[in-house]
Amino acid sequence: MNDTNRFLNRALLFLIGVILIAIGAGMVAVIAWPAAADWWTTASASAQTWVDDAIRRTMIAGSTLSWGSVGSLTAIVLLIVLLIIAMARLGGGHTRSLVRTGGQDSPAGRLVIDTGFASDALRASLDERSEILSWRISVVNVRRVPMMHLSITPRQNTSPGEIADDVDHLLDNLAALTGAEIPSYLSIHTGLRSRLAHDQRRIA
Amino acid sequence: MSMSHAFRRVIRRETHSPRTGAMSIAVVLALLALIYIGTEVVLSLLSLPGLLISPTAAGDWLTALPDQQPVWAIIAIAVLCALIGIVFVVLALTPGRLPKHQILRTGRVVLVDNAVIAAALAQHLSDHTGIARERVTVGVSRSTVDVTLAPDAGIPVPDSRIRELITAQLDVYQMARPIKVRVRTTRQREGTLA
């Protein structure tokens, strides 16, 4: 679980998709449809004269540069930077603190419980269960609420109901230990490892 | 209630694909195109020869697009472009539901991969009917559980019994969505050695 902006993901996908469709469909139309070809030749030629004209009119005095070209280059660089920012913002939202209480106005001061604490507290119980192949704890801020994500990969053929009941119990104990009911999300996964670690004995 | 709001958000996010992979491919393609165009513009500003084509020459080429050769190659590139675009748009607009089911536990969100449920149901059937685990195939989708049995000769198991076992087990899991059970029995050919 992470805090990727999914709307941005889909919006970018949609936008780039529409641009690609427009380019592709436009090229086909211009090549295969005479009316479109005529329109394209005139429009493109006049666009070219307009661009040449704009570049000439915006010449920076005493240089060979023009504001037109500098401006378009700036726009391209800006777009590149925006796209790189969009890529860099993928994922994230993870935090280390599970519980945060009080603050400056609380006489008891602030109590912060780290993910590591929950992880250590659950380790003994989870590790001793042979039906649990692997597990992982992370904390993600969901709308400013720290949400503990416990991800479990059980051995194949293990009842998810039992796992959920067991973990439910463990989390109740953790809540009693920390004195705070931590909103939690449990995901039960299948994976290559769980299939390989089949619990059926086979006679080869 | 901000808590149930957070839970709802987790459920929605975790049962739908974030489309991160497709988005990355699309953005990398766009970046490559932009970096290339930017490079050509810079080279032309410095009055250096372009990498492939200078912006002015590219403009001329585009204007003469209807008469460019070879036509088949240009059409092929155009169609490829449009097809990739269609895939992106479809990915952007479809929900991209992940094969997971929510099971209900008070105060927590529990999501289970469909394959985990399927394997557990198959094991449960095998334990309670005596049919070998290898002869039970279970598929779990969003709205149905599909059970295919190939029972050994001499062990008749009525479909209603299978249905009962599955439904009871699903009640134990406490599935959040109602789910239909379909049972199919394939007859083993008699006298064959497995």
For residue A174, the domain's CATH number is 3.30.70.1350
Q: Is residue A202 included in any domain, yes or no?
A: no
Q: Report the amino acid identity of residue A7.
A: F
Does the ipTM exceed 0.85?
Answer: no
Question: Are the beta carbons of A54 and A68 closer than 8 angstroms?
Answer: yes
Q: Using alpha carbons, list the distances in angstroms from residue B25 to A16, A64, A86, A92, B170.
A: 10, 38, 13, 19, 40
Q: Is residue A29 included in any domain, yes or no?
A: yes
Is any Cβ of chain A less than 8 angstroms from the Cβ of B43?
no
Q: Would the CB atoms of B19 and A23 count as touching at under 8 Å?
A: no
pLDDT digits (tens, 9 = 90+) for A106-141: 677 777 788 888 888 888 888 888 888 889 888 888
Same domain, A14 and A108: no
pLDDT above 70 covers what percent of chain A? 91
- Within 8 A of A41 by CB-CB distance, chain B residues are 63-64, 66
**Average per-residue pLDDT in chain A?**
84
Q: Is the per-residue pLDDT at B136 higher than 70?
A: yes
Of A66, A88, A110, which residue sits at a domain end?
Answer: A88
C-alpha A170/C-alpha A122 separation (Å) is 7
pLDDT confidence bin for A204, thresholds 50/70/90: very low
Dig out the tokens for A30 from the structure: 């211009």
List the one residue out of B173, B2, B107 whose CA is nearest residue A172.
B107
pLDDT digits (tens, 9 = 90+) for B46-82: 888 888 888 888 888 888 888 888 889 999 999 999 9
pLDDT confidence bin for B6, thresholds 50/70/90: confident
Same domain, A124 and A139: yes
Q: Is residue A82 included in any domain, yes or no?
A: yes
| Phi/psi at A6 (5° precision) | -75, -30
Q: Name the residue range of residue A113's domain.
A: 94-196
Number of other residues whose CB lies within 10 A of the CB of residue B140: 26
CATH dotted code for B100-185: 3.30.300
Dig out the tokens for A189 from the structure: 């996964």
| Residue-range domain boundaries for chain B | 17-93, 100-185
Interface test with A, best of B110, B128, B133, B169 (most A CBs within 10 A): B110
> What residues 61-80 of chain B have any CB closer than 8 A to a CB of chain A?
62-66, 68, 71, 74-75, 77-80
Q: Is residue A151 included in any domain, yes or no?
A: yes
Q: Is residue A203 included in any domain, yes or no?
A: no
3-state secondary structure of A107: coil
pLDDT confidence bin for A202, thresholds 50/70/90: very low
| Mean pLDDT confidence for A83-102 | 81
Number of domains in chain A: 2
Q: Is residue A38 included in any domain, yes or no?
A: yes
Same domain, A84 and A101: no
For residue B50, the distance in angstroms to the closest alpha carbon of chain A comes to 15
pLDDT digits (tens, 9 = 90+) for B11-29: 998 999 999 999 999 999 9
- List, as one string, the DSSP characters of A13-39: HHHHHHHHHHHHHHHHHHHH-HHHHHH
| Mean pLDDT confidence for B156-183 | 90
Q: Is the per-residue pLDDT at A194 higher than 80?
A: no
For residue A138, the distance in angstroms to the closest alpha carbon of chain B comes to 14
pLDDT score of B109? 92
| DSSP H or E stretch at residue B49 | none
Is any Cβ of chain A less than 8 angstroms from the Cβ of B94?
no
Q: Which residue has the higher pLDDT, A178 or A157?
A: A157
For residue B186, the distance in angstroms to the closest alpha carbon of chain A comes to 22
Q: Which residue of A has its CA nearest to B57?
A: A48
Q: Would the CB atoms of A72 and B41 count as touching at under 8 Å?
A: yes
pLDDT digits (tens, 9 = 90+) for B71-124: 899 999 999 999 999 999 999 999 989 999 999 988 889 999 999 999 999 999
Q: Would the CB atoms of A14 and B88 count as touching at under 8 Å?
A: yes
Please name the residues in contact with A114: beta carbons below 8 A apart, sequence gap of 6 or more: A96, A97, A98
pTM, 2 dp: 0.81
Same domain, A111 and A150: yes
pLDDT confidence bin for A193, thresholds 50/70/90: low
Q: Is residue A117 included in any domain, yes or no?
A: yes
Mean pLDDT lowest among A168-182, B34-48, B67-81: A168-182
Q: Would the CB atoms of B3 and A183 count as touching at under 8 Å?
A: yes
Same domain, A110 and A173: yes
Q: Would the CB atoms of A21 and B63 count as touching at under 8 Å?
A: no
Q: Would the CB atoms of A79 and B34 count as touching at under 8 Å?
A: yes
pLDDT confidence bin for A143, thresholds 50/70/90: confident
Of A43, A67, A88, which residue sits at a domain end?
Answer: A88
Q: Is residue A84 included in any domain, yes or no?
A: yes
Same domain, A14 and A81: yes
